């Protein structure tokens, strides 16, 4: 059987495509693009919350936040390793990120202004990540699907710790409750933008669905996230900042207001509140870490020569 048919049969049978299998160049390129940008998102995503590790209000909260930020680093490493199975070079991917030639999730270009943001990021941002990443456990590319299984287990801890932090604040003082509401007001719409542009403007969704890289479209997952978040917000006692948010019994989903796609594309194209700061921080960390990479390479070479 020819290789293309074998590939198509593997995908159609919901089996996994593995690194050694033949695959169309476009399939490989789309996977490198998505996995690399997913990895970049995890690494850049350490910055907003990292900002609060030294300011956490208790040792317990500090330990939880430290564990979460370390998890994100691990997620980035799994995903760079998955990209390498496609022939991508990790150093090159990092250089593309720093040069602005590859993207990372828009959500990480917003500032974390109060401690309530740590809880809201856990609840909404990691909650959105779970909606987006659970289906990726069934993505057609084996190494990506397997990386997602471990990532999703850790994401559910991330989401629960955030929600528990907010429940604690909401049973606190009037001022703490106001901090949570103000944070939700800032993070709700950017969280909806995490799922990408509307399907009608998504240049990659159709092909990614055919190749079963994506298992649901951007709008389907966004809707799933809205439907999941509304009862959680009610339980928490916060108001989601959308006057058009209402249950539509006919659709069996919540209707919600129009997202500001001008803001979305501005942030994606580099003009968000923190884009320059995030990329500059990543560039500096990469440069400051060059000596570690050189030492590790020299040590590996010495070990090889001694063997
Ligand atoms: N931020 C930045 N760029 C975005 C974006 C966002 N929120 N949404 C879409 N884009 C970009 C796409 O990358 C694409 O540009 P490209 O062709 O240059 O890559 C363009 O906008 C058009 O979007 P499409 O819908 O056509 O692109 P995709 O089919 O790739 O869908 C996606 C976008 C839904 C983000 C998809 O890539 C995906 O599911 N990626 C894997 C999950 C992921 O990366 N999540 C990011 C957050 S990681 C995270 O949440 C960490 C957690 O610990 C908090």
Reported pTM = 0.96
Write the CB contacts of 212 (distance below 8 Å, at least 6 apart in sequence): 11, 14, 138, 139, 140
CB 154 within 8 A of CB 29: no
Write the CB contacts of 202 (distance below 8 Å, at least 6 apart in sequence): 196, 217, 218
Ligand 1: does its nearest atom lie under 6 Å from the Cβ of 162? no
Ligand 1: does its nearest atom lie under 6 Å from the Cβ of 49? no
The HSE-up count of residue 290 (CA atoms within 13 Å, CB side) is 5
Would you state the torsion angle of the CA atoms of residues 13, 138, 18, 91, taken in this order, to the nearest 10 degrees? 150
Q: What is the pLDDT of residue 148?
A: 96
Residue nearest to atom 7 of ligand 1 (CA): 194
Residue nearest to atom 30 of ligand 1 (CA): 34
- Residue indicated by tokens 């580099």: 270
Does residue 250 surpass a pLDDT of 90?
yes
Identify the H or E element spanning 78. Answer: helix 59-84
* Mean pLDDT of the 289-299 span: 95
Ligand 1: does its nearest atom lie under 6 Å from the Cβ of 194? yes
Pocket mutation for ligand 1, best pick of 37, 82, 211, 278 (most atoms within 8 Å of C-beta): 37
The band of 1, judged by pLDDT with boundaries at 50, 70 and 90, is low
Q: What is the pLDDT of residue 187?
A: 98
Ligand 1: does its nearest atom lie under 6 Å from the Cβ of 103? yes
Which two three-digit tokens encode residue 235?
């339980």
Q: What is the pLDDT of residue 307?
A: 86
The residue among 45, 285, 51, 281 whose CA lies nearest residue 154 is 45
Q: What is the pLDDT of residues 115-127, one digit of tens each?
A: 999 999 999 999 9
Q: Which atom of ligand 1 is nearest to the CA of 104?
A: 2
Q: Which atom of ligand 1 is nearest to the CA of 202?
A: 26
Q: What is the pLDDT of residues 68-114, one digit of tens each?
A: 999 999 999 999 999 999 999 999 999 999 999 999 999 999 999 99
CA of 67 to the centre of ligand 1 (A): 25
Q: Which atom of ligand 1 is nearest to the CA of 41?
A: 48
Task: Give the CA radius of gyration of the chain.
Answer: 21
Ligand 1: does its nearest atom lie under 6 Å from the Cβ of 272? no
Ligand 1: does its nearest atom lie under 6 Å from the Cβ of 193? yes
CA of 143 to the centre of ligand 1 (A): 19
CA 228/CA 178 separation, integer angstroms: 23
Q: What is the pLDDT of residues 181-215, one digit of tens each?
A: 999 999 999 999 999 999 999 999 999 999 999 99
Q: What is the pLDDT of residues 24-49, one digit of tens each?
A: 999 999 999 999 999 999 999 999 99
Q: What is the pLDDT of residues 221-234, one digit of tens each?
A: 999 999 999 999 99
Neighbours of 61 (CB within 10 A): 19
* Mean pLDDT of the 162-183 span: 98
* Mean pLDDT of the 236-261 span: 98
């Amino acid at each position: 059987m020819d290789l293309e048919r074998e590939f198509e049969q593997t995908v159609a049978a919901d089996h996994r495509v593995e690194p050694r299998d033949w695959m169309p160049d476009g399939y490989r390129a789309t996977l490198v693009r998505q996995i690399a940008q997913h990895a970049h998102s995890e690494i850049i995503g350490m910055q907003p919350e990292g900002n609060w590790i030294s300011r956490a209000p208790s040792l317990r909260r500090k330990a939880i936040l430290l564990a979460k930020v370390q998890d994100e680093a691990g997620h980035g490493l799994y995903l760079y390793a998955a990209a390498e199975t496609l022939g991508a070079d990790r150093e090159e991917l990092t250089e593309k990120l720093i040069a602005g030639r590859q993207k990372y999730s828009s959500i990480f270009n917003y500032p974390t202004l109060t401690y309530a943001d740590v809880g809201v990021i856990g609840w909404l941002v990691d909650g959105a990540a779970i909606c987006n990443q659970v289906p990726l456990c069934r993505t057609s590319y084996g190494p990506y699907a397997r990386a997602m299984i471990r990532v999703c287990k850790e994401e559910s801890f991330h989401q629960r710790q955030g929600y528990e932090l907010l429940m604690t604040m909401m049973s606190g003082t009037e001022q703490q409750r106001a901090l949570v509401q103000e944070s939700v007001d800032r993070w709700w719409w950017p969280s909806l933008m995490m799922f990408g542009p509307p399907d009608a403007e998504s240049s990659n969704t159709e092909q990614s669905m055919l190749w079963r890289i994506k298992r649901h479209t951007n709008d389907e997952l966004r809707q799933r996230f809205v439907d999941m978040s509304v009862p959680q917000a009610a339980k928490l006692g916060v108001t989601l900042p959308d006057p058009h948010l209402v249950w539509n019994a006919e659709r069996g989903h919540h209707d919600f207001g129009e997202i500001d796609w001008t803001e979305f594309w501005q942030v994606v194209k580099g003009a968000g509140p923190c884009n320059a700061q995030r990329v500059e921080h990543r560039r500096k960390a990469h440069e400051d870490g060059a000596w570690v990479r050189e030492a590790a390479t020299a040590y590996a070479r010495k070990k090889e020569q001694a063997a």
